[in-house]
Structure 1
Amino acid sequence: MLILNRIEMEFIFSKKKDGEVVHRKKSKLREWSEAVLFAVIAATLIRTFIFEAFVIPSSSMEKTLLVNDFIFVSKISYGPRIPMTPVAWPFMHHTIPFVKINAYSTIVQLPYKRLPGFSSVSRNDVVVFNYPCGDTVLKTSDGEDVDYYTNIRSLGYSDTKKTFPTRIIRPVDKRENWIKRCIGISGDSLQIIDGVIYINGAKGLAPRHFMARYEVIMPDLHQLSEPRMDELNIDHSVRITMDSTAFIYNLDADNLDTLRQLGAHIKRKIAEGTDIRVFPFDTIHHKWNEDNLGPIYIPKKGDTVQLDSLTLPFYQRLIDTYEHNTLKVAGNKIYINNKETTTYTFKLNYYWMMGDNRNESMDSRFWGYVPEDHIVGKAAFIWLSYHKNKIRWNRLFSAIK
């Protein structure tokens, strides 16, 4: 939130009357109107080019970021993005509250351009970006957004259209804002084996508060009570194993140490089988799930890849949606902009984003790459945090790492 101090200024109009100069103040209404207009313009410029405030709505980044953490996101770290949809209501993203209509107009659409910044996106940065699959959204009867592509894959086109008749297409900078950690950068090769991430063949760095699912058997064989979980700072999301012999908790390194000291038997819970939700949604050739996938190449601007029936599922959306080409497949032949080809050279850099609460996060494992033109900024610090109507004082003005 930006607080602007109002500077009192006296504007004087002069005109001649019988040879004399008469000084006349502006009315109070005009003074206040000009002050408000100045504040709106200044705040909009700061919000667009320097930093912006966000609130964390979900648990996908716990315990690095908690629900109801209010954060500032630096736009200048990676370079501020020039608005691609400049005609819009100030301080609103894509929808005007209550009336639930678009807060922007597509009458003017500008190409992607970013001003110089202090750095490029690095591995392990916590990044805010526009949700890549948010280009198309469905609307419920009460005006809420529903993910288009998830429903298309699960229900099919016909049933999706019957269930959600309203479909909205949004420009890049008006897609929903998401926050995740950058796990892989352009040019990296990424693989996940039993929940462990490998980048270019080397084990990736786990965040300080990385969380995953573990099967836990306490010495008394009972589930931890909610007061006990609060005391031990353990997430309340609890499941039970299929054979009812253990309870499944989302735990970080501190939780593991605490429970082991209490005599608990702990084992990492790894996803099994093939998950049809996992990118690139090719379950014939890739028997992957959220804890076992890859290797996956993360495209880099200027790099060229071979295209065939095996590689195309990884890059099809990049070619036709993110980089605005016409792509067609006829038999074993691939056509880009009506020319047959077996290669493609990328125009943008791409990134792989994942949540720190690894098994409670919808991230790149489920929808793929994040293009550079979707990057909003780098999460800088927490300026306010509260839980159960109480301020979490220990989190105020803490840096996000």
Structure 2
Amino acid sequence: MNVVEFVIAFIILIILPYVGLWKLFEKAGEPGWQAIIPLYNFYVMIKLSGRPAWWFILLLIPGLGFLVAIGIVVDFVKSYGKFSLSEHIAGVALSFIYFPKWGFDKNTKYLGKSASPEFREKYKISLKKTATREWADAIIFAVIAATLIRTFFIEAYVIPSASMESSLLIGDYLFVSKVNYGARLPMTPLAFPFAHHTMPLIGTKAYWDGVELPYYRLPGLSDVKKGDVVVFNYPMDADSPLYRPVDKRENYIKRCQGTPGDTLSVVDAQVFINGKAAITPPHGEMKYVVQSDGSEINPQLISDLHLSDIAPVNNTTFKVNTTAQSVKALKDYSNIKAITPDITPRGIADPLNTVYPELFPKYKITPNFPDFKWNVDNYGPIIVPKHGWKVKLDSLTFPVYGRAIEIYEGNKVQVVGKDILINGVKTDSYTFKLNYYFMMGDNRHNSEDSRFWGFVPEDHIVGKALFIWMSIDDNASFLNKIRWSRLFNIIH
């Protein structure tokens, strides 16, 4: 994400709602500056709408707090005479538009505490609803509003693994924009709200795949570009035993290295795109071989330089996973004699195959599979499929593109002797219907990515990672849990 995109997103998602809330607070006789204090601004909204102060405690409960926040916003906008369902949705889902609009509108005034009986009587709001009915209505509305926000605008995502370190750390909470690449409309519409593919606690499917809609994406601000950090559905969830629909496959996050039509290769751990070296993520990690004088490494140094997966080779040599910046700092210590990248030469079996047993390509129905002699550090060249690209199918290309043709583009593929049949017709070529992407983790020796399972189809793209809004270190002490320095960092 570049600086311009971040500034635009920050203005739309943060600045505009706060500006509008400032003006609305002033209309109610409250100091406008209270609007820009996170959480406290919700306390003021609770007070202005006449709800009990203990509602603020509900805001702090994970899961429930999100629904309560939506209910508070609805009560708040009612206090300014916004009684229709469309106005409630506008206040919740489009606050960056309607809060400023109402805040600067001379005809919009604070009318009083919307939750009070006097207010309801005065403005003819129904008093017949029981407390249970009010809560039920509020929850239904909150679910609808939250679903619309998550589907069309923005969604929270947490980093679950180390595959993007040190660019992104385990415990980083991100905002993922659906607007940048265009929101993908739901393909499996009948699903339990807020559950992705599995119901919590009971572990059953959270969706019904009896109804599946075709892929369609709304217009976006840009296409997926090389270097973007992208959230997408894991393509291999299409296989046994899961057989999940596209939009219910597990969410992954990686960096886009190859876009449609690119020729990608990895040479001695350096990615090349169309023959030119790609920019290496500055905070990315990989394995290094470290030679020392045999003395132990200070544990504080290990923590400060983010050295991980330390594995002794002998008394004076060990392997470590870390960043190029940490390697540079480590070389300055007198007990360190040499540090070299741990790169597997081309043609040599990859030691990582003990974890990931097969590198891509590997296509299940390909006879006499060719030995490409690829590994994670020396891979390709490989052409990323592009919509409209016609590829000649032979013993070298079919293993690479057969999975996309069959699984992602929905064709029946057969190999009979030396003949390739697509939908029962013998052919020696195929024209792609979708665009594809090649994704890699920044932690190059600790990432299950396109090098292992292949291309990401365009219909699997979820959104673009914008910035970190919270970061929790589960291994730290209670007082140091929050990584304050990472809050609101732009994701590059």
With normalisation by structure 1, the TM-score equals 0.86
- Percent of paired sites with the same residue: 49
Mapped to 2, the partners of 1:223 and 1:59 lie a distance apart of 25
Report how far residue 399 of structure 1 moved. Answer: 1.1
1:361 counterpart residue number: 447
Q: How far off its partner does 1:284 sit?
A: 3.7
Deviations 1:93-137 (A, max 9, x none): 000011100000012100000001100100010000000001135
1:211 equivalent in structure 2: 285
Moved more, 347-356 or 276-285: 276-285
* Residue in 1 that maps onto 2:235: 132
Q: For 1:256 and 1:34, how far apart are their aligned partners in 2?
A: 57
Which stretch shifts more, 267-276 or 81-90?
Answer: 267-276
Structure number with higher relative contact order (C-alpha < 8 Å, ≥ 6 residues apart): 1
Instruction: Give the residue type in structure 2 aligned to 1:200.
Output: N
Residue of structure 2 in register with 1:289 after alignment: 375
2:344 is matched with: 271
Q: Is 1:374 matched up with 2:477?
A: no
The one-character-per-residue Cα deviations of 1:62-89 (angstroms, maximum 9, x if unpaired) are 0010011111111111000000000001
5 Å-filtered alignment, 1:91-106, equals 91-106=194-209
Q: Which runs of 5+ in 2 are unaligned?
A: 1-62, 79-113, 116-123, 351-356, 364-368
**Cα-Cα RMSD:** 2.0
User: Matches of 1:221 and 1:375 in 2, distance apart?
Assistant: 48
Query: Does 2:316 correspond to 1:235?
Result: no
Deviation at 1:279, TM superposition (A): 1.0
Larger radius of gyration: 2
Whole-Å separation in 2 of the counterparts to 1:107 and 1:212:
44
Indicate the SS of the match to 1:315: helix
Q: What is the CA-CA distance between 1:291 and the residue it aligns to?
A: 0.5
Are residues 187 and 22 of structure 1, via their aligned partners in 2, closer, same or farther at CA, if it must alter by over 3 Å? closer
Residue pair 1:6, 1:35 contacting (<8 A) in 2 also: no
Residue identity matched to 1:42: A
The CA distance in 2 between the partners of 1:268 and 1:23, in whole Å, is 71
1:64-83 to 2 correspondences below 5 Å: 64-83=167-186
Counterpart-to-counterpart distance in 1, 2:288 and 2:126 = 77
Quick one: which amino acid aligns to residue 134 of structure 1?
Answer: D
- The correspondence of residues 324-335 of structure 1 with structure 2, limited to 5 A, is 324-335=410-421
SS at match of 2:320: strand
| 3-state DSSP of counterpart to 1:29 | helix
- Alignment partner, residue 198 of structure 1: 272
CA change 1:234–1:222 in 2 (3 A) is farther
Change (3 A) 1:62 1:22: closer
Q: Which structure is higher in helix share?
A: 2
Conservation of the 8 A alpha-carbon contact between 1:223 and 1:247: no
In 2, the alpha carbon distance for the partners of 1:235 and 1:75 equals 34
1:186 equivalent to 2:186? Answer no
Paired letter, 1:69 = D
Q: Quick one: which amino acid aligns to residue 341 of structure 1? A: T
Residues matched between the structures, number: 360
Confirm or deny: 8 A CA contact 1:226 1:236 kept in the other structure: no
Partner letter of residue 396 of structure 1? Answer: L
> Which portions of structure 1, spanning 4 or more consecutive aligned residues, are displaced by more than 6 angstroms?
none
Please report how far the alpha carbon of residue 331 of structure 1 lies from its aligned counterpart in structure 2 after TM superposition: 1.2
Asked whether the equivalents of residues 129 and 374 of structure 1 are also in contact (C-alpha less than 8 Å), the reply is yes
2:156 counterpart of 1:53? yes
Is contact 2:308–2:322 with CA below 8 Å preserved after alignment? no
Measure, in 2, the Cα distance between the counterparts of 1:132 and 1:244: 43
Corresponding residue for 1:42?
145
3-state SS, counterpart of residue 445 of structure 2 = helix
1:222 alignment counterpart: 295
From the two aligned structures, give the one with the greater strand fraction. 1
Retained in 1: the 8 A contact 2:331–2:339? yes
Tell me if the contact between 2:226 and 2:259 (Cα under 8 Å) persists in the aligned partners. Answer: yes
Quote how far apart the aligned CAs of 1:23 are: 7.4
Q: Distance in 1 between matches of 2:266 and 2:464?
A: 25
Counterpart of 1:340?
A: 426
Name the CA distance, whole Å, in 2 between partners of 1:216 and 1:172: 43
How far 1:281 sits from its partner (Å)?
Answer: 3.2
Matches of 1:308 and 1:22 in 2, distance apart?
71
Q: Give 1:222 deviation, angstroms.
A: 2.9
| Residue in structure 2 matching 1:7, options 74, 77, 81 | 74
Q: Displacement, 1:211?
A: 1.1
Three-state SS of the structure 2 residue aligned to 1:97 is coil
Q: CA deviation at 1:394?
A: 0.3
TM-score (structure 2 length as normaliser): 0.70
How many angstroms does 1:285 deviate by?
2.8
Letter in 2 for 1:235: L
Q: Distance in 2 between matches of 1:108 and 1:205?
A: 43
Equivalent in the alignment of 2:332: 261
CA distance in 2, matches of 1:235, 1:103: 39
In structure 2, distance between residues paired with 1:223 and 1:182: 38
